[in-house]
Structure 1
Amino acid sequence: MTNQLIENKSLEKVLEVVKEKEIDRVFLVACGGSSALMYSSKYILDRDSTTMTTEVYSSNEFIYRNPATLNKNSLVILCSHLGKTPETTEAAKFAKSKGALTVSFTYIDDSPLAKESDLVIGYEYGPGIDPAESRNILIIQLTLGLLKVKESSKKYDKLVASLPNLKAVCDKAIEYYAQDALDFADKYKDEKMIYTMASGSNYGVAYTFAICILMEMQWINSHAIHAGEFFHGPFEILDKDTPFILLLGLDETRYMEERALKFTKEYGEKLIILDAKDLDFKGIDKEIRGEIASVVLLYVLRAFSRKLADVRNHPLEKRRYMFKVPY
């Protein structure tokens, strides 16, 4: 299936359209876990683009804030797994009313979001799917493709060449942390609060684990802390009884994560440390490992979440309110 990703016709079509369109602003719009996936793309575009500025918005706020810079020269990238998130569908309508080009990621081809978008990129979903075919990597692929067609970046081709090796990298990473996942589930199953911390392209991963896994799927209080903000308030909560999950990536902001790690090791004891430097990225071009690290760490955390759910006898699919009551 990886070859299908490399030759993804819908993604290629988007890049063809984007290449011919003047774009000076990119809006990344979604809710929840779909929104968290956008943080890596914002990081990439902020760092690498000299012609486009980028913002991440929660779907409803995108509409109500009504950015003055949203216009015919804007690209709005949206995401909703089932394509049924009403706020994101309305955001697509709103963006089109302003003349913007809308591109949506959704698992369901004929979903409401797909029908309201100019262009749609579908993706595979389910057990055993190659990470290279997931929306996580497809969003990054579109981002690097955008930089290729607009600014001649070489990273897109390096990513495509690396994709056939991504599954092996993720599998080895999960195996490397297998015992840690079991220990985490056993030691922290009764915790009432678990913090997650990261920076740069990894921040969205920490945010995903905090709000989608711990809060939504396990009903455990959590908060995602940016490593750069840790010393400006949040570090006062740290003690020997407060659990922290720290992510260390491979991008330019790693220093902030290392600084936070040094402090938490000195004053805390309940620490789970996931460091991309400890993993084997063989087959992934060195110039894009910073971008890929966030995808790999997310897959590792998903393995952690499955172990936690098993030990707590709390299935990841269990909900109190979502899809069950009016909201």
Structure 2
Amino acid sequence: MVSLSVLDLVMIGQGKSFADAVDESRQLARHVENYGFRRYWVAEHHDMPGIGSAATSLIISEIASVTSSIRVGSGGIMLPNHSPLVVAEQFGTLDSLYPGRIDLGVGRAPGSGGPTVQALRRGAPERSFGQDVVEVMDYLADNGNQRVRAIPGRHEVPVWILGSSLFGAELAATMGLPYAFASHFAPRYLHQAIAHYRKHFRPSKYLGSPYVMVGVNVFAADTNEEAEYLASSHRQWMLDLHVGRTGLLPKPSEGFVDGLSQQEREVLDHVMACTVAGDKAKVGAWIRDVVAQTGADELMIDSRIYDPALRIRSHQYAAESVADL
């Protein structure tokens, strides 16, 4: 059995406002909860005009407030940007507000470029990511291992290690934590990393056996042609990012891929290798193949579709395409 979940960057579309983007996220969260999705995660990014999830814990709280059962969390909090104490206090507070529904996924990437990193960290010395993870978990456990206490005290918030290389796989395996691989935008080491994680996993009080989440891009529609059209917004945004342009989520464009140069196609083929765009039958077959190849316990869908109603429909079709799983 495989679970489906959602990754949301609260994308701001061309001609739309930040408030529009947040409202679209609320709508999607309510709908995917009804379709049986397991989690709804929000990703931390900074200094990117098209991404509205910079204040990640606030967006998580808003999503949790308009849903009732789906787990809500971070995919992820970029831990080097923050004090472990503050992260523990924010997520302990979220767990108090929405008991048993909060996840804390953490990563070590900055979530932005050099000047933004400097603005976030204000010259703070580099810290060990692994040690930061330990500190956050100490604070959440309220176990006395740190000199101060996190308020509001002890909380059992599941901590996930996010990554796109062997580093995260090794850390998650050593600590006995669940592992989420960012193959939706950095698929190169997917199979190598999850194999390493499973081989070296050490059972812990948090997790008895390996648990793998794989990031994918899914665009489902009534026809393959319509799905390709909807996916063009996401593809254009990703291509712009990789050539140094950041902006709002574009409206979809007919024949977008056909108009690209060979070099541009190669960029997209690399960064979006874990992508399917098609009707229900095509999407369902592709998801089954990914699960068969990776043994994933869970797939997290990133689907940046401009029209909120069609984004909702895409997630519904994805769920329906593998309802038997």
Alignment TM-score > 0.5, same fold: no
Q: Which has the higher helix share?
A: 1
Name the structure, 1 or 2, with higher relative contact order (CA <8 Å, separation 6+): 2
